[in-house]
Structure 1
Amino acid sequence: MKIAVIGATGGTGRRVMDRALALGHEIIGVARRPESLSPEEGITVRKGDVLDEQSMVNAITGADVVISCIGPPSNLSPESAAKNLGNIRAGIHTIAANFSPGTVMSDGIPNIVSACQRTGVKRIVMQSGINLSDGKELSLFNGLAVCLMRSIFRKAIQDKSKAEQALIQSELDWVIVRASVLQYAEGTSHYTAGPLARINPLGALPFEDCADCLVRAATSEPEWTRKIVNVGR
């Protein structure tokens, strides 16, 4: 299967490519700054700006499925977070990005949807966050935690909510994957995922495990089609 990974330079996007390659899939790595990706066997690198619909059309042409890993820019590379700053300072950058998220998701996802429709791509997987949940499927404590985070990160929630609605209202075979807090750590493959899955929103999940779930949603979980999936501990 040929998978277009949008946001390929991010913490999850890079790991999505690695996981999909390990499973034998062909990758189109889409990035606004493609020079930051090193071409390798099985990966075609393409320039793509999610704020430009035609750019997305050009980037995903020929793909069988799209995985979107876009999110608020943190101005922090995964390598810097993993090697130099550690999870605490990386978390600070992520929190700062969520206070000023911009409109990359609310403007970008509709462009990706339109590009899928124009290029004939039927399936799309979107990485989102557990804070978009109303918390009803979670434990009482975790539901309260989500409500608190929704209040704190109100701007980011609004941006992601508009993005989710654009996908839900489309006719595509979409899957929205709402992940818990993510961390730069080695994956374990021991995580919980599924529609209405009861997870701990504050339980850190390695990017690798989130990436594994996204690839599953794209390639091997047909029962997740047109559903919101929670992933975490």
Structure 2
Amino acid sequence: MTSSVPDTVDPAEPKILVLGATGGTGRLIVSQAVARGYDVSVLVRSAEKASDLKGAKVIVGDVRDERVLRQALQGRDAVVSALGTPASPFREVTLLSSATRALVSAMKAEQVLRLVCITGIGAGDSAGHGGFLFDNLIFPLLLRKVYADKDRQEAIVRDSGLDWILVRPSVLNNKPGRDAIRALTDLSSFHGGTISRSNVASFILDQLRDDTWVHRSPLITW
């Protein structure tokens, strides 16, 4: 299933592949990218769930399938990964790391270098900086296994040899975006925080043409 791409697409604008496009943040990444005139493809499990992603080319397939990923990457300049997974208190989580491993291999094969990947506060050295409720209740009770896989995902990205940026949003909300956000790598005095999905989407798209955060892992927050 393919939706029509607007005539306003500028051939000089990035041609991007978005993974996780049917999630809350992924949808905003797609809509904002289309509004900027980007050439947008999305790889999704269900064409039905992506039927409202106007202006994007919809490719249906498994994000863990390297063959499918290679096909989706053809003609692309960059990848945005907004992959997510539900809370999983008991079952092991492997989707993020397995999909990212396949993605890195496919990107290398297709010579697509720029990867902007969303993980989240609590991943890597941002663990313990989510605030009292997140760090002491939500994380250990609901998200421990999810974040174990996010850590594996981040390690795969870091070792990829790609032009990667790992973006760790603070706790997400659906409020309108603000004019200014903070991007932090020194978290020594940071504990807790929120940010809108709209601001996250905008920051992510800015990284497609900005090298400021390449090979770094900014935490973004209000």
Q: So what's the TM-score if we normalise by structure 2?
A: 0.82
Deviations 1:44-79 (A, max 9, x none): 11113122111111222211000000011x4xxxxx
CA 1:205–1:41 in 2, change beyond 3 Å: closer, same or farther?
closer
Q: Tell me what 1:224 maps to.
A: 213
Q: Which one has a larger percent helix, Structure 1 or Structure 2?
A: 1
Contact 1:199 1:231 in 2 (8 A): no
Of stretches 51-60 and 171-180 in structure 1, the one that deviates more from structure 2 is 51-60
Q: Calculate the aligned-residue CA RMSD, in Å.
A: 2.7
- Shift in Å, 1:42: 4.0
Per the alignment, residue 153 of structure 2 pairs with 163
CA contact (8 A) 2:118 2:168 kept: yes
Give the 3 Å change call, closer, same or farther, for CA 137–35 of structure 1 in structure 2: closer
State the Cα distance separating 1:130 from its structure 2 match.
1.1
Aligned AA (2:219)? N
**Matched residue of 1:228: which SS?**
coil
Question: In structure 2, how many angstroms separate the alpha carbons of the residues matched to 1:147 and 1:39?
Answer: 35
The Cα offsets for residues 99-141 of structure 1, whole Å up to 9 and x where unpaired, read as 6562110111111111111111010011001101434996xxx
- 3-state DSSP class of the match of 1:124? strand
Distance 2:131 2:48 in 1: 41
Q: Which amino acid aligns with 2:214?
A: T
The runs of at least 4 aligned residues of structure 1 exceeding 6 Å deviation read 143-146
Correspondence for 1:7 among 17, 20, 29 = 20
Matched residue, 2:39: 26
Letter of the aligned partner of 2:174 in structure 1? Answer: Y
Aligned residue-pair number:
207
Tell me which residue corresponds to 1:110: 101
SS at match of 1:175: strand
- For structure 1, list consecutive stretches of 5 or more residues without a partner in the other structure: 75-95
Q: What percent of counterpart residues are identical?
A: 30
Amino acid at match of 1:66: V
Listed one character per residue, the Cα deviations across residues 134-187 of structure 1 (whole Å, up to 9, x for unaligned) are: 34996xxx5777754654432112100011000100110000000111122222
Specify the SS of the correspondent of 2:218.
Answer: strand
Q: Amino acid of the residue matched to residue 171 of structure 1?
A: G
Q: Is the 8 A contact 1:182 1:207 kept in 2?
A: yes
Give unmatched runs, 5+ long, in structure 2: 1-13
**CA distance, structure 2, for counterparts of residue 123 and residue 169 of structure 1:** 14
Give, in whole Å, the separation in 1 of the partners of 2:131 and 2:52: 43
